[in-house]
Amino acid sequence: MKSLLGLLLLVGIASAEPDSLNSVDPVEFQSLVTETTQAMKVPGAVVLLRTPQGQFVFATGTSEIGQRTIPHGKTHYRIASNTKTMTAALVLLLAQEKKLALEDVISRYVPGVPDGDRITLGQLLSMRSGLYNYTNAPELARQLDEQPAREWTPAECLAMAFSRPLNFAPGTAYEYCNTNYALLGLVVEKVEGKPLAECFQERLFRPLGLRQTQLPPGPSTRLPEPYAHGYMYGGSAYALIDIPYSANWQGEPHDYTVLNPSYATAAGGAFSTALDQADWIQALVDGRVLNATTQSRWLRDMWPQNPAAPQGQQYGYGITRMHWADNTIYFHGGEQPGYNSFIGRDPEHQVTLVIWCNLTLSLDGKPTANSLMLKILDRLYRVSPLAP
């Protein structure tokens, strides 16, 4: 049995911490991660934290129920909607190269979209299209549970959205919607003339050295070794649809590892590792993906998720901005049957945080990585919203 300190990776020590940050005590943070995940009955989790003090990896539990396989920074997992940060970056790169414009309407690239002559690419990026979210369709969750290995095409997924009316007029409100990003993936493929997976590799993953990150081919249900199995209490609908969660569960959770991620594609189909995800969000937020002009727009153009709280969380082009007391964090989350994850970057204080759990929801219905993230940030920052 490995010791507690044996689960920690610490690289590079700086001489001082910014005033906003507490010093990272590895033993204390490891205990926080272990106790929090055990309370949520998470089989396994990894927290990767970078501060000016160095890099830490806190791991707990197992990659597979019934085995003693401690996960680590190079363990593969499905990143779900964190894929959206990559799809958005591709669209912005194409806009930067004047191959498209964010003011273009989607009907210019994809036929048959309801109100497609009024919905712009910018509205798709920022979740303001009004289109029905196809992952809310009950028939999708049912078929994912009945045929988990089935390969889905974007056209099949979009058909579920296009058969329903818009939820609001384009540009008038915010609503998180996977349909938007399924469409943006098709836009990238049309403009570049090649599959989205190739675009990811050529434009993002290879230049940034993200060797363990990939959008897998449609028929694939496998993850490369080493990988974490993904678990969930209840059916797929609890991860896809905002419905009350039932805690009445006996026995072990379902293993969703072989669920085919093709239903998510550009909206959430990729896999990665904690180390690659840390490098990715750091490069994106720090301006090493987009040029200065595009980066400025990416940081500036944000819309409140809740109009009644305009200073609360805001969503932009594939990224969320939140204020943790006086600190600004750019982040995204990922949730699908089997996995829950978070990637975030505070550029001012040089903080990078990546979390993944191989249980989607705790038995009380809380997203596991998000719950852990709140406790990590509360401990890391000296002043936080959770402070009395």
Residue 384's pLDDT is: 52
- Strand-pair partners of 232: 254
Split at pLDDT 50, 70, 90, the class of 16 is very low
Above 70 in pLDDT, residue 339? yes
Residue 5's pLDDT is: 29
**Averaged pLDDT of the chain:** 93
Calculate mean pLDDT across residues 301-327.
93
* Share of residues in the chain with pLDDT > 90 (%): 87
Calculate mean pLDDT across residues 13-24.
68
Q: Which parts of the chain fold into alpha helices (H)?
A: 26-39, 83-96, 121-125, 138-146, 154-162, 178-192, 196-200, 206-208, 237-240, 265-268, 274-285, 292-300, 368-380
Strands (E), the chain: 8-11, 44-51, 54-61, 77-78, 231-232, 254-255, 271-272, 303-304, 314-315, 320-324, 327-336, 339-346, 351-357
Tens-digit pLDDT profile for residues 57-106: 999 999 999 999 999 999 999 999 999 999 999 999 999 999 999 999 99
Task: Count CA atoms within 13 Å of residue 247 on its CB side.
Answer: 7
Residue 326's pLDDT is: 86
Tens-digit pLDDT profile for residues 356-388: 999 999 999 999 999 999 999 999 999 755 543
Residue 17's pLDDT is: 52
Calculate mean pLDDT across residues 166-171.
98
Above 70 in pLDDT, residue 287? yes
CATH homologous superfamily, domain 77-272 = DD-peptidase/beta-lactamase superfamily (3.40.710.10)
Residue 126's pLDDT is: 98
Residue 68's pLDDT is: 94
Calculate mean pLDDT across residues 328-341.
98
Decide: pTM greater than 0.85.
yes
Above 80 in pLDDT, residue 240? yes
Split at pLDDT 50, 70, 90, the class of 40 is very high
Name residues whose C-beta falls within 8 Å of residue 236's C-beta, 6 or more positions apart in sequence.
140, 141, 144, 145, 256, 259, 337
Calculate mean pLDDT across residues 337-346.
98
* Share of residues in the chain with pLDDT > 70 (%): 93
Q: Which CATH number fits domain 1-75+319-388: 1.25.40, 1.10.10, 2.60.40, 3.30.450?
A: 3.30.450
Above 60 in pLDDT, residue 8? no
Domain ranges of the chain: 1-75+319-388, 77-272
Tens-digit pLDDT profile for residues 186-222: 999 999 999 999 999 999 999 999 999 999 998 999 9
Residue 266's pLDDT is: 98
Calculate mean pLDDT across residues 244-271.
90
Split at pLDDT 50, 70, 90, the class of 259 is very high
Residue 247's pLDDT is: 62
Residue 311's pLDDT is: 83
Amino acid symbol at 237: A
